[in-house]
Amino acid sequence: MQDKIDGLFNHDTLSVVSASTMPPESKPLSAIWSFCKKRLPCWTITKWKSRLCPHGGQQIAGVNFWHSYAPVVKWSTVWLTLILPTLLENQSRQVDFVQAFSQADIDCDVYMKIPRGFILDNHRLKFDPFHLGRQQLWQLCFKAIKES
């Protein structure tokens, strides 16, 4: 978990701010750790992954987000994407982005409480670019990809 926190600071995704410098109308969101297991096809665990997220259920419409967006794809598109490299005698590759969602620009200030187990009295975390757990995550990432 310390590696994830260090990665967020190294990629300029998070910064530590004093609680007294926060705007009075902003309420810090709770921190949530999301854990998952990466497995081989034989179901043996290869590694444990973790992600630090602000609590999306505590966000308020019109304050922390304006639109929610969920990307949807048809199965025929997935099948075509998998079949085309075979038909064209090309190879497909898997890409794993580190800190993938910190590429889109943030559209409002988001503050999060310090996660349990980390001690920083009277301080909060501020998300500088964009981060997981936000309602508008996919919409802003799609917009960034579309404009590039």
Domain ranges of the chain: 2-147
Task: Please enumerate in sequence order all residues whose Cβ is within 8 A of that of 84, keeping only pairs 6 or more positions apart, or say none.
Answer: 90
Q: Give me the phi and psi of 125, to 5 degrees please.
A: -100, 135
pLDDT for residue 80: 92
pLDDT for residue 105: 58
Task: Please enumerate in sequence order all residues whose Cβ is within 8 A of that of 13, keeping only pairs 6 or more positions apart, or say none.
Answer: 99, 102, 127, 128, 129, 131
pLDDT for residue 132: 47
Q: Which residues are 146's β-sheet partners?
A: none
Q: Tokens representing 80?
A: 């075509």
73-131 pLDDT per residue, tens: 899 998 998 899 899 998 887 766 655 555 555 667 778 888 877 777 677 777 665 45
5-49 pLDDT per residue, tens: 777 777 667 778 888 888 888 888 888 888 888 888 899 998 888
Selection from 35, 8, 9, 27 nearest residue 98 by Cα: 8
**Cβ atoms of 144 and 35 closer than 8 Å:** no
**Cβ atoms of 29 and 111 closer than 8 Å:** yes
pLDDT for residue 97: 61
Q: What is the average per-residue pLDDT within 54-63?
A: 78
CA 8 from chain centre, in angstroms, equals 10
